[in-house]
Structure 1
Amino acid sequence: MRKYPYLRSKRRRGRWFHTYRRGDREISLGVHGLHPTDPQVIAAWAAEHARWEFSPPDTPTPSPETFAWGVDIYKAGPHWPTLSAETRKNREAILRRYVRAQGARPLRTISTADIEAALSAKGGNAAANELKAIRPVFAHLAKIKFIPRDPTQGIAIERPKTKGHPTASSAEIAKFQERWPIGTRERLIFDLALYTGAARVDLASLGRRNIDGGMIIFERHKTGVETIVPLTHELRAVIARTPDIAPAFVLTSRGKPYSKESLGNIFRDAAAAAGVNFRLHGLRKAFCVYWAEQGRSTHQIATMAGHLTLKEVERYTRDADRKRMIQLLVESS
């Protein structure tokens, strides 16, 4: 039987008792009566161990079988570490709010109707995001038999239908290029975004270290998907305007990479000054249109853009002014 650090399991009068003993403290795991190999015992140990290893000192242990306790059980399980850092950050904020409001509530008293009421009060995209954050918690707890059933089963939230970020049109691209000529920081951000198709979080960190032969290769921060972009003539010309030795292509006045927020704010202001409506994500869509007009297949574009689904690429390239787009890109190089 595998030994887990600081786990103490003792049998008294025919019944198992489990504690986490570390230093001069011994904390009940709240899963007494179960065999030491039971998944519930291991899950409770993992949550307490993670609290000691990664939380601030003297972080209190939630009461057993409460919602706060269940969140800790889930985060110490196998699913949470597989999420991207950005997804964990966003869901952590949601779970923290729920723990503040309902942390002391016993898990078995939380019903489907309770969750639906809370989500309905929120509504829209916020409700959809909150469901995505709390559903895995209850699914995990049901899987290891801490609760009899997952109360989020059957709950569906329809996101409001929106057009999303607009694709940069050929006319808007021309206006931006006219307002921000080559040599300006704003134009450098624009050109790199257009020719790499990188999202702002990835654009902020891209540098010469990502060049491998005739390609730029990087892992998308959001999904972990490897992205491979050809070094076209236009992209080579843009890179040639950046410092030879630098941590990233786009740098602050102090020679440091921008944060994704700062990069987005700079581009937002630059777009407003040029009188256009698109954002960096609109250039990511234009990147897909560019390669579609070059004759690349949906699969190839998906690889270059780092998309997980072909539908995303098809959505970006639909109903676009492709002929004018490619003509403009060639003329501006």
Structure 2
Amino acid sequence: MSKGHRYWYFDTGTSDERGKKIFTRLPDISDKTAFGAAYSAMMGHRTRRANAAAQMTVTAMIGLYRLSQKYTKLAAGSKRIYDIYLGELETMLGMAPADEVTRADIVLLVDKRAKHPAAANMILKISRALFKWARSRGHITADPCSDIELNELGEHQPWPDELLTEALASDDDRIRLAVHLLYYTAQRIGDVVRMKFADIKDGTLFVRQQKTGKELDIPVHALLAAEIGKAGRQIGPIIITARGSAITVSTLRHYVQAWAKERGHDVVPHGLRKNAVNALLEAGCTVAQTAAISGQTLQVVEHYAKLRDQRKLAIRAMSKWEANER
């Protein structure tokens, strides 16, 4: 009712981006023919939308998501991870109506991976991204991932100094080269296996991080340059298998971890990234300088800085104190 006039609106059954219902103006009810025709047409549209929503399966929703910019703009490495867990979600719930997936369904998916908390977290994160996108596009209204907590994960620990020293001087050429590359570039193992001789120009190694897409020009450390020189090749990937082919991430990770386990250490290659960041910080590099090598955010480097070896820092601090009082 406005200024003495009564207006009629149709509930479209949809909402805008703020969740507010969308209504469409109808003709004046006094014009029964126009009013009836408009109302019937709008009701038909709403019914078709409702039927389409009811028929939207998880498989169909995933198919639409893969066409969206949210997915297509992901880095290649991220896409591979998404594909793994979208595939799992489709295997478990593919034929279920997407709008009828419940919190209990997602909790079950997560809890089935209790022995692998990182994988459990990943399927939850990717499910959240999928359902959030689908809600934003009006395909569904369900929010089955709400209030499900991520598993707590322990951080990757740096390698013990004695293990790092042994690896850098190892008689195993592949271990020695791999650890030099991981440590002296502060990069992820996925980026290290993709490094080629052609990426090195004028003493600088070019890296395009697979996970973030960030491009880095990393000066080659003198010790790394000497180790790469021992490879005796000038083409192809820097690290190769015994047969001379490019090595995969899983193969190199298994090889490095098996070598460390033989020496009584349960470590992961990613721990060397923390060794490298700590070494840069302890050498007096600023957070920004360290991040320029590792490609991490300033916040991540600052977090690493807080976790540096307290004992080592305390010894150096005490030495400076004592020297100042002499």
Q: TM-score, normalised by structure 2?
A: 0.71
- What's the counterpart of residue 7 of structure 2? none
Deviates more, 1:111-120 or 1:74-83: 111-120
Deviation string, structure 1 residues 161-213 (Cα, Å, up to 9, x no partner) = 42x322022222233345x14x7222122222221122211111212222233
Give the 3-state SS of the residue equivalent to 1:79 in structure 2. helix
Large movers: runs of 4+ above 6 Å: 13-16
Q: Distance in 1 between matches of 2:261 and 2:108?
A: 40
Deviation string, structure 1 residues 66-108 (Cα, Å, up to 9, x no partner) = 2221111111111111223333223323222322332222233
Counterpart check, 1:261 vs 2:253:
no
- What's the counterpart of residue 80 of structure 1? 71
Counterpart check, 1:106 vs 2:70:
no
* 76 and 289 in structure 1: CA distance in 2 versus 1, 3 angstrom threshold: same
Gaps of 5+ in 1: 1-12, 17-31, 35-39, 45-62, 325-333
Give the 3-state SS of the residue equivalent to 2:267 in structure 1. coil
Cα deviation, residue 292, structure 1: 1.0
Q: Percent identity?
A: 21
- What's the counterpart of residue 304 of structure 2? 316
Counterpart residue type for residue 144 of structure 1: R
Give the 3-state SS of the residue equivalent to 1:280 in structure 2. coil
Contact 1:175 1:274 in 2 (8 A): no
Q: Distance in 2 between matches of 1:95 and 1:139?
A: 14
Counterpart check, 1:139 vs 2:150:
no
Give the 3-state SS of the residue equivalent to 1:218 in structure 2. strand
Counterpart residue type for residue 159 of structure 1: N
* 101 and 217 in structure 1: CA distance in 2 versus 1, 3 angstrom threshold: same
Which of 282, 294, 318 in structure 2 is aligned with 1:305?
294
Counterpart check, 1:157 vs 2:149:
yes
Q: Distance in 1 between matches of 2:226 and 2:112?
A: 52
- What's the counterpart of residue 31 of structure 2? none
Which of 195, 214, 225 in structure 2 is aligned with 1:225?
214
Greater fraction of residues in helix: 2
Q: Distance in 2 between matches of 1:311 and 1:119?
A: 29
Contact 2:106 2:145 in 1 (8 A): no
Contact 1:168 1:282 in 2 (8 A): yes
Counterpart residue type for residue 139 of structure 1: K
Deviation string, structure 1 residues 247-266 (Cα, Å, up to 9, x no partner) = 11122233222111111122
Cα deviation, residue 316, structure 1: 3.3
Deviation string, structure 1 residues 272-317 (Cα, Å, up to 9, x no partner) = 334444332121111111111221111221221121x323223434
Q: Distance in 1 between matches of 2:221 and 2:137?
A: 52
* 110 and 189 in structure 1: CA distance in 2 versus 1, 3 angstrom threshold: closer
- What's the counterpart of residue 4 of structure 2? none
Contact 2:206 2:217 in 1 (8 A): yes
* 243 and 152 in structure 1: CA distance in 2 versus 1, 3 angstrom threshold: farther
Structure showing greater Rg: 2
Contact 1:193 1:203 in 2 (8 A): yes
Structural RMSD (CA) = 3.1
* 122 and 172 in structure 1: CA distance in 2 versus 1, 3 angstrom threshold: closer
- What's the counterpart of residue 25 of structure 2? none
Q: Distance in 2 between matches of 1:158 and 1:253?
A: 40
Cα deviation, residue 220, structure 1: 1.2
Which of 67, 79, 84 in structure 1 is aligned with 2:58?
67
Q: Distance in 2 between matches of 1:102 and 1:236?
A: 51
* 105 and 252 in structure 1: CA distance in 2 versus 1, 3 angstrom threshold: closer
Q: After the TM superposition, which residues 1-333 of structure 1 pair with which residues of structure 2 at under 5 Å, given as runs?
A: 33=45, 64-112=55-103, 114-116=105-107, 118-120=109-111, 122-123=113-114, 124-147=117-140, 149-152=141-144, 154-162=146-154, 164-177=155-168, 180-181=170-171, 184-307=173-296, 309-317=297-305, 318-320=307-309
* 96 and 205 in structure 1: CA distance in 2 versus 1, 3 angstrom threshold: closer
Counterpart residue type for residue 298 of structure 2: L
Give the 3-state SS of the residue equivalent to 1:227 in structure 2. strand
Q: Distance in 2 between matches of 1:153 and 1:276?
A: 37
Contact 1:175 1:275 in 2 (8 A): no
Q: TM-score, normalised by structure 1?
A: 0.69
Q: Distance in 1 between matches of 2:292 and 2:146?
A: 34
Gaps of 5+ in 2: 1-36, 315-326
Cα deviation, residue 116, structure 1: 4.3
* 137 and 248 in structure 1: CA distance in 2 versus 1, 3 angstrom threshold: same
